[in-house]
Amino acid sequence: MSIVHVPTFEINLDLPAEERYLEIYVNFSENIKPLFTSFYKSIPRSRKKFFPAFAKFLEKSDNEYYKEMEALAKIIEMEPYECIAVEHCCEFMVGCTSVLAKAKDEVNGGYKIVHGRNLDYPLEVSLMRDVLYKGVMTKGGKEIGTSLIFAGFQLYTSIKKGAYSISYNQRMKKQENGFLKSMVLAFLGYKKYSRIIQETLITCDTFDEAVEHLKSTPSLNECYLSICGIDRGVKITRDRFKARLEWVYADGREDGNTFDVQTNCDSWEEIPKRDNNRRKTAIELVEATGVEHMNEKRMLFNVMNVDPVCNKETVYSSFMDPSTYKCVVLIN
């Protein structure tokens, strides 16, 4: 693996919704089209049938999102409902590893919290890498934050300068009629978490505001959210209406953890076979590194880049530090 400089684009939220991603869609169109075509073919027919009606619902209930998807559909010659189907169904398949860890603050002294993140996906890993970019969101001439984004998709990994970073992990638990329940909520106006992360980045200026918004906003899907502040971090386990919080602290308090590792299973339950020992291995690697030695290089190469934490489904690894606004990308 090596650190790479992915292309950076401005996402100007003052532009009409159909224009704000246009440069990105055009730039990546040759790779987005085969990616979305492949993903759409992989969606079961029993799920596809919901999306023509859902697209019409979104046109009225969330017109900005609909216009973004409509603009994409025109460029890659698909129907808006097909793009919306891909963008929604793919969110239920994001398998990831997120690490919040106490680390030495080599600039200001003392300690801070830093954020490691692997984003894994079971399909089209190479094409996903080909559409990866850094999106710098602006509004009113001011920079809001930066996200690692796959062209055509919403936000799974974001950072706000001097405030917080966020990573999204899908919560993969067996539930009866889970997709159907999510679609019922979608038709009731509930949003998926990648949209809620974007809302957070736009409306929440502080770590505390971000945590409050992410823990209290109902969603149509279940997930884990790792949020890194300057001297605190928190992992939020979300079902559709409730949240459970687990904290990480930089100040050494006795009742706080010095790190947290989250994959795609509940941390209080026995690790299932489908986790492939990612969580167990990541915990061992963080403990072996130690907070006295944790930094960008060790987080990326001693933790996130070690098998099976990094595996054949890992699209990218990243390191984020809200105190310095650093967002580094590592790709195999």
> What confidence tens digit (pLDDT) does each residue in 231-243 have?
999 999 999 889 9
Closest-CA residue to 200 (of 232, 140, 159): 159
- Average pLDDT value for residue range 64-83: 98
Give domain limits for the chain.
13-90, 95-127+151-331
pLDDT above 70 covers a percentage of the chain that reads 97
Question: What pLDDT shows up at residue 4?
Answer: 84
pLDDT band at 137 (very low <50, low <70, confident <90, very high): very high
Question: What pLDDT shows up at residue 103?
Answer: 95
Closest-CA residue to 106 (of 325, 324, 330): 324
Within 10 A of 205 (CB to CB), how many other CB atoms are there? Answer: 14
Question: What pLDDT shows up at residue 178?
Answer: 81
- Average pLDDT value for residue range 250-255: 71
The tens digit of pLDDT for each residue in 143-160 reads 999 999 999 999 999 999
Confirm if 297 and 3 have CB atoms less than 8 A apart: no
The tens digit of pLDDT for each residue in 84-130 reads 999 999 988 888 999 999 999 988 889 999 999 999 999 999 999 99
Confirm if 282 and 264 have CB atoms less than 8 A apart: no
Q: How far apart are CA 60 and CA 69, in angstroms?
A: 14
Q: How many angstroms from the chain centroid is the CA of residue 71?
A: 23
- Average pLDDT value for residue range 275-299: 94
294-302 own/partner pairs: CB under 8 Å, 24+ apart: 294/101, 294/102, 294/103, 294/104, 294/114, 295/103, 295/104, 295/106, 295/114, 296/114, 296/321, 296/326, 296/328, 299/99, 299/101, 299/103, 299/114, 299/116, 300/3, 300/116, 300/328, 300/330, 301/1
Within 10 A of 5 (CB to CB), how many other CB atoms are there? Answer: 8
Question: What pLDDT shows up at residue 1?
Answer: 60
pLDDT band at 253 (very low <50, low <70, confident <90, very high): low
115 phi and psi, to 5 degrees? Answer: -130, 120
Q: How far apart are CA 317 and CA 329, in angstroms?
A: 6
Helices (runs of H) and strands (runs of E) counted in the chain: 12, 14
Question: What pLDDT shows up at residue 331?
Answer: 92
CA pseudo-torsion sign 18, 93, 235, 99: negative
- Average pLDDT value for residue range 49-72: 97
**Cβ-proximal residues to 199 (8 Å cutoff; 6+ apart), any chain:** 191, 213, 217
Which residue type does 147 have?
Answer: S
Question: What pLDDT shows up at residue 193?
Answer: 92
Domain with residues 95-127+151-331, CATH architecture: 4-Layer Sandwich (3.60)
The structure tokens listed for 87 are 């963008």
The structure tokens listed for 328 are 């580094």
